[in-house]
Amino acid sequence: MAEKRYKIETLCPQCGCSAVSHLNTEEIRERYGDVPNVEMECNECVIKYTTDMKEACPEWDKECKMNQ
Ligand SMILES: [Zn+2]
């Protein structure tokens, strides 16, 4: 059975370029833990920014709440 992957999409507030990652449950937990924010570093202008998890990945956000 294929493991479910979540699409996490973020947008840099400075240059507007978007970053998309596809992570499975384990990878999301490892990288972001249970925090409601996603911390990203822009590939273009290398600034760090945070995005709400519910905006970056509504699907994961929903699942998180269901498991609580
Ligand atoms: Zn940027």
Protein residues near ligand 1, an ion, with CB under 5 A: 12, 14-15, 42, 44-45
Write the pLDDT tens digit of every residue in 4-52. Answer: 999 999 999 999 999 999 999 999 999 988 788 999 999 999 999 999 9
In the chain, which ranges are E strands? 5-11, 18-24, 37-41, 48-52
Query: Residue 40, Cα to own-chain centre: how many angstroms?
Result: 8
Tell me the CA–centroid distance for residue 2 and ligand 1, in Å. Answer: 33
CA atoms lying within 13 Å on the CB side of residue 11:
3
**Rounded to the nearest whole angstrom, what is the distance from the C-alpha of residue 15 to the centroid of ligand 1?**
4
The pTM of this model reads 0.80
